[in-house]
Amino acid sequence: MRNRGTAWEAGALCVVLAARALGGMAGSAHDFTASGWSRGAGCGVCHAFHSTDAPAAGTPAWSREFSNVAYTLYTSTTLDATPGQPTHYGSKLCLSCHDGVTALDTFGGQRGSTYIHGKARIGTDLRATHPIGIIYDGALAHADRGLFDPNTKRIPTGETITNGLLFGTGNLECASCHDVHDRLGNPKLLRIRNNGSALCRTCHRM
């Protein structure tokens, strides 16, 4: 996944993507049009259009506030990577709804009071969630031995893991496994269906 350069580029992309993404998003778990809290904003629940805030370089434009909490991070004695507090938008944006701290309807400069609930509420304890906020590169694969080299292993689209699932120079984030726009219509918004653990086996040699 390449970083996007300018706000203009992001805007132009939105036009292109809207044509495809509306098909995918309509009726998906992230189609909020039927929820009163979304104020009919559509893409604007997450993205800012015509915003006065310029997006940070290389990131799409957001309309959401990020949660300002300290998460309990994944830990284990066998982990080689070192998870840090989520700083990348590929996780932070998700957590701005899924941690249950920021209201769903806090966007576009307005504060709301409707919180995520049920199984979709991940909370702030990330120990039960796959590690995120880690760099998955050739060196990690080499150290771990149970991981494929992300620069050479291909995913079903033909891209390498690095280009197809990771952000920037190898960030593994929530959006590495989930397509927030549900373009493929897979269960749980997954980028790769997990039948026979196919998603897990994309990266793990098992």
Positions in the binding site for ligand HEC (CB under 6 A)? 4, 10, 13-14, 17-18, 21-22, 25, 29-30, 42-43, 45-47, 60, 76, 78-81, 89-91, 93-98, 104, 116, 118-120, 122, 126, 129-132, 134, 136, 140, 144, 147, 161, 165, 172, 174-178, 180-181, 188-190, 194, 199-200, 202-204
- Cα distance between residue 175 and residue 180, in whole Å: 7
Cα torsion 44, 49, 52, 55: sign: positive
Q: In the bound complex, what is the minimum distance in angstroms from residue 110's beta carbon to ligand HEC?
A: 13
Give whichever of 4 and 101 is closer to ligand HEC, judged by the CB atom. 4
Q: In the bound complex, what is the minimum distance in angstroms from residue 153's beta carbon to ligand HEC?
A: 9
Give whichever of 45 and 101 is closer to ligand HEC, judged by the CB atom. 45
Long-range contact pairs involving 8-17 (C-beta distance under 8 Å, separation at least 24): 10/55, 10/60, 10/61, 11/49, 11/61, 14/43, 14/47, 14/49, 17/181
Give whichever of 89 and 101 is closer to ligand HEC, judged by the CB atom. 89
Cα torsion 197, 203, 204, 205: sign: positive
Q: In the bound complex, what is the minimum distance in angstroms from residue 129's beta carbon to ligand HEC?
A: 5
- Residue keyed to tokens 């070192």: 82
Assess contact for 129 and 74: CB atoms under 8 A: yes
